[in-house]
Amino acid sequence: MDKFLAYYFLISSAICLLFYPFYYRWRYKRFYEKYIQESYKRRIGIITEVGFEDGFITSKDSYGEEKIRLAEIEFIYEIKDDLFIRIKNGETVVIPSKTPDYTEFKNDLTVLTKDLGIVWETELDWKWR
């Protein structure tokens, strides 16, 4: 009986150690997808016009207009699918790469932020793990 319990716990421990990373990755991704859906449900799918205007990034949608001073940008992080603009107050603006004028927007942003010394990180082979 003692050998049976020892083998049982040894095998079940090995199975848990083997499959736990897969379960944790799935759970972690599911948690953040659910959090984003609940937190930003009024903003997902809303068409927003984004542009530049005298040292500001402007965005206009059906809820209103927002202006972000270029000097308030903390850093810019680019992956294959999105461009994340992190602002010093903790907010992040996400620009999907599937937008029609993405390359033009990215080039204009590069030119405007070059003199401000804003860190631009690029990781085009990033994948969700």
- Domain contains 44: no
Q: How confident is the model at residue 21 (pLDDT cuts 50, 70, 90)?
A: very high
Same domain flag for 116 and 55:
yes
Give the pLDDT confidence of 95-126 residue by residue, as tens digits.
888 888 888 888 888 888 888 888 888 888 87
- Domain contains 67: yes
**Res 24: pLDDT:** 93
**Res 129: pLDDT:** 67
Give the pLDDT confidence of 61-71 residue by residue, as tens digits.
888 888 988 88
Same domain flag for 19 and 75:
no
Q: How far apart are the C-alpha atoms of 77 and 124, rounded to whole Å? A: 10
User: What does the DSSP assignment read for the chain?
Assistant: -HHHHHHHHHHHHHHHHHHHHHHHHHHHHHHHHHHHHHHTTTTTT---EEEEETTEEEEEETTEEEEEEGGGEEEEEEESSEEEEEETTS-EEEEETTSTTHHHHHHHHHHHHHTTT-EEEEETT----
Same domain flag for 26 and 81:
no
Same domain flag for 31 and 57:
no
The total number of structural domains that make up the chain: 2
Mean of the per-residue pLDDT values for the chain? 86
3-class DSSP state of 14: helix
Same domain flag for 31 and 60:
no
Backbone angles phi, psi at 36, to 5 degrees: -65, -45
Domain that holds residue 7: 1-39
Same domain flag for 73 and 19:
no
Same domain flag for 57 and 110:
yes
- Domain contains 128: no
